[in-house]
Chains A and B, each alone.
Chain A
Amino acid sequence: MEAEAILTTRNLTMRFGGLTAVSAFNAAIPRGSIVGLIGPNGAGKTTCFNMITGFYQPSEGQVHFKGRDITGTPPHKVCHSGIARTFQNIRLFGNGTVLENVMVGCHVRQATGWWQAVLGLPSSRKEARALMEKSRELLAVVDLGDLADEKAGALPYGAQRRLEIARALATEPAFLLLDEPAAGMNPNETQELMGFVRDIRRRFDLTILLIEHDMKVVMGICEHIWVLDYGVTIAEGCPEAIRANPKVIEAYLGEEAVGHA
């Protein structure tokens, strides 16, 4: 890969007791690309996300972001440095409104604090208005403009997924991790989502790493793919190479057989 890497992992390893969930994951992700991490259930994909975003402290290995070692940095600082994520099992602030969810995403870039707000200082009011506007714009991007005042927990499933992305975008990331964004979607919605992911990459100048359980989905949009099986990287390369790789086919066939049993 020629483009400079925005994020690299070196021998990233995660052990839970005797179980090695991820072993020696090595990736260099070029700036501006859309890349995928695939593999059967339990392969260690989400664990990789958790190590990159600071939720897990890796047992071994490092994560470098924009040339800086961010291994073991707590999640909120990772986010501040420009990495945002979504969760496999959607995690919205369920009691808040759709707009408030996005506003919370904006907080990490906010300059004025709580006491300025209590005092009602002009600087604080001005920023609050700007954040509100920014949040509404982001909601328009994910097609939730009309639902701004609805309770987030009451949204239909697909809308919740899009809100989670809008919230992540509000943190102004350079690097976005999407954990199974197409899970639970029908083929039509999935198709739409793929267009949407390409669209936000261009619009917000992002690098995107997405996890997909379903190999077929990622083939359409990813420029480069890593395949995990039982924590081991069994293949990496462009979609065509992955599709033809016998090891990958075997891993997925094995899972199908289990799935049908």
Chain B
Amino acid sequence: MQAQRTILNLLAAAVLGLFLWWAEGHLDGYKIQILNLIAVNIILALSLNLIYGFTGMFSLGHAGFMAIGAYVCSVLILDPAQKEMLFILEPAYTWVQQAQAPFFVAVMAGGLAAAFFGVLVGAPLLRLGDDYLGMATLGFAEIVRVLAINLPRVTNGALGFKGIPGHANLWWNYAWCVFTLFFVVRLVASNSGNVFKAIRDDESAAKAMGIDVFRHKLLSFSLGAFFAGVGGALLGSLVATIDPKMFNFVLTFNVLMIVVTGGLGSITGSVVAGVVITILLEWLRVVENPLFIGDWELPGIPGMRMVVFSLALICIILFRREGFMGKREFNWGWLLRSLGNKAGRHGS
């Protein structure tokens, strides 16, 4: 069964590879951009699900970690000549000016920097009760934004970066996405995953079972921060432009929406909702454009799609608390069995 699963996983990866190869040749830039966003959003959703869905820590700091990942990565992949042109408010520090790294290393550095800040803010904040963690992490994300504005020699202040090299193509994004998926699946399936879920379900009981609750919360939080940083790094390269405004609460909210819709504590849910909601978010841009009904023009309202999505989120929370998947997961055995049943019925 173990070997069989490995083969099926490899097959699935091969199918994904073929699809990407096909997409690269046949889809237009806009569709490819959506595919890229799907990969990034899945990474972000998985990282928040690890923190919130599996370990029960209601964190609203994702945009902060993403910003750290995006800035670190961008500084490393921007050309020194480019940086010289970019920093018009104040010249960059020499180490910022000269920092250079290949894309993979830059993304990794973005993730590690975010994880480092995860430990730094997690150490004091995770001792707070759950009611305060949301507030405090929201504050953290806001501080990151304010710092980004006020450290012009590192971040170019409110102007941010433009023309970030677009290394984050389909292949890089999906490689990171698959790696994140692999990592989180392995982690959650391990006994450490059981421990995270135990902390989520009953912290006191977990302590009585000999679990160092604080240490495990910090672990989950900083691993989540790492992947949020990776997602931010990829996003920066993908959209080519970053500035402090981009990393506001809406960014965190989008990720939260994917996680809650998919199901807190369901990896499958995060993946499926990552695909569906990314597409819907793009598709819903329609409601922000003027709409013509006959001769009558309905003016487009900026931010309308967020209203639509917020309403949808409220409905999910009201009517389907556990999200699309609940805590259930996809597995090959289940798929094969249901296919087998169908085949059996057709045969008879």
Determine whether B90 belongs to the interface, using a CB cutoff of 8 Å to chain A.
Answer: no
A149–B207 Cα distance when bound, in Å, is 23
Do residues B211 and A76 form an inter-chain contact, with CB atoms below 8 A?
Answer: yes
Task: Determine whether the beta carbon of B201 is less than 8 Å from that of A93.
Answer: yes
How long is the Cα–Cα vector from A106 to B194 in the complex, in angstroms?
11
Of the 9-residue stretches B32-40, B67-75, B133-141, B184-192, which lies at the interface with chain A? B184-192
A230 to B343 Cα, complex, angstroms: 69
State which of B183, B194, B210, B219 has its C-beta within 8 Å of the C-beta of A96.
B194
Task: Report A96-133 residues with CB < 8 Å from chain B CB.
Answer: 96, 100-101, 103-108, 110, 113-114, 117-118, 120, 124, 128, 131
A95 touches B265 (CB 8 A): yes
Query: Considering the chains assembled together, what is the distance between the CA atoms of A132 and B346 in angstroms?
Result: 39
Contact, CB under 8 Å: B205 / A128: no
Give A120 to B186 CA distance when docked, in angstroms. Answer: 8
Q: Is residue A202 contacting chain B, with contact meaning CB distance below 8 A? A: no
| Distance in angstroms between the alpha carbons of A96 and B189 in the assembled complex | 12
Determine whether the beta carbon of B210 is less than 8 Å from that of A117: no
**Contacting residue for A107 out of B183, B208, B210, B265, CB 8 A:** B210
Number of interface residues of A (CB under 8 A): 37
B187 to chain A, nearest CB (A): 5
A94: contacting residue among B201, B204, B212, CB under 8 A:
B201
Query: 0/1 per residue, A63-100, Cβ < 8 Å to B?
Result: 00000000000111001100011010001111110001
**Are A95 and B210 within 8 A (Cβ)?**
no
Cβ contact of B192, chosen from A55, A92, A117, A120, cutoff 8 A: A117
8 A–B pairs (Cβ distance < 8 Å), ordered by A: A55-B207, A85-B208, A87-B204, A87-B208, A104-B211, A107-B195, A107-B209, A114-B187
- In the complex, A136 has a CB within 8 A of chain B: no
Q: Which residues of A contact B (CB under 8 A)?
A: 53, 55, 74-76, 79-80, 84-85, 87, 91-96, 100-101, 103-108, 110, 113-114, 117-118, 120, 124, 128, 131, 167-168, 170-171
- B131 part of interface (Cβ distance < 8 Å): no
Q: Are A171 and B210 in contact (CB under 8 A)?
A: yes
Shortest beta-carbon distance from A156 to chain B in Å: 19
Choose from A53, A80, A104 the contact partner of B195 (Cβ within 8 Å): A104
Pairwise interchain contact B194-A107, C-beta atoms closer than 8 A: yes
Question: Quick one: given A76-B213, A108-B210, are A91 and B194 in contact (CB under 8 Å)?
Answer: no
Give the chain A neighbours of B202 by CB distance below 8 A.
Answer: 91-94
In the complex, chain A residues whose CB is within 8 Å of the CB of B208: 53, 55, 75, 79, 84-85, 87, 91, 168
Residue of A nearest to B212 (CB): A76
Top 5 nearest A-B pairs (CB, nearest first) are A108-B210, A117-B190, A79-B210, A114-B192, A91-B205
Across the interface, B204 reaches (CB within 8 A) one of A55, A101, A118, A168, namely A55
Instruction: Look across to chain A and name the residue whose beta carbon is closest to the beta carbon of B213.
Output: A76
Most chain A C-beta atoms within 10 Å of own C-beta, residue among B197, B205, B206, B210: B210
Closest residue of chain A to B192, judged by CB? A114
Residue from the list B191, B204, B212, B327 in contact with A131, Cβ < 8 A: B191
Interface of A is mostly: helix
Q: Is the CB of B209 within 8 A of A171?
A: yes
B198 at the interface (CB under 8 A from A): yes
Residues of A within 8 A of B204 (CB): 55, 75, 87, 91
Q: Which residues of B contact A106 (CB under 8 A)?
A: 191
Q: Shortest beta-carbon distance, A114 to chain B, in Å? A: 4
- Closest chain B residue to A132, Cβ basis: B191
Interface residues of B in 207-231 (CB under 8 A from A): 207-213, 219
Who on chain B is nearest to A54 by CB? B207
With a cutoff of 8 Å between Cβ atoms, the chain B residues found around residue A79 in the complex are 207-210
- List chain A residues, Cβ under 8 A from B189: 117
Give the residue of B186, B191, B192, B210 whose beta carbon is less than 8 angstroms from that of A76. B210
* B127: min CB distance to chain A, Å: 12
Residue among B198, B206, B213 with max Cβ neighbours from chain A (10 Å): B198
**Shortest Cβ distance from B327 into chain A, in angstroms?**
6
A27 to B265, CA, bound (A): 45
Q: Which residues of A contact B211 (CB under 8 A)?
A: 76, 104, 107-108
Cβ of B207: which chain A residues have Cβ within 8 Å of it?
55, 74-76, 79
How distant is the Cα of A75 from the Cα of B207 in the complex, in angstroms? 6
